[in-house]
Amino acid sequence: MEKLTNKEEEIMQILWKLEKAFVKEVMSEIKNEKPHYNTLSTIIRNLEEKGYVSYNAFGKTHQYFPIVKMEDYRKKFMNTAIETYFNSSYKNMVSFFAKEEKISADELREILSMIEKKE
């Protein structure tokens, strides 16, 4: 599975949300700077070439849909980030977020409870 650019990830987030969409529908979901229609179409075709999306043809128009699940993408690249930035340590990752005050003690207790219930 190839890493996506930030813009490709943004488009995939939209396709995962919509499940299937024409380019104009994807365009309407973009919140910030909207690319030119042809640029967006090229990004989606690149996603197709990378194996992330496929399409159904309706004449000259294509309706795109994701063929890679968001969960599979998230798992692959979260694992890569943890290996790269946290020395393959989930403890180091959680500690980082705690030090940055991105996770509260209550949230940590909730996570601990979830872990204990799985045992």
The distance of Cα 57 from the centroid of its chain, to the nearest Å, equals 25
Task: Give burial (CB, 10 Å; 0-12/13-18/19+) of 66.
Answer: buried
Which pTM value belongs to this model? 0.78
How many residues would you count in the chain? 119
Residue pLDDT tens, the chain, 119 long: 788 999 999 999 999 999 999 999 999 999 888 999 999 999 999 999 999 999 999 999 999 999 999 999 999 888 888 999 999 998 898 889 888 888 888 988 898 898 888 85
CA 41, CA 35: separation in Å to the nearest integer?
10
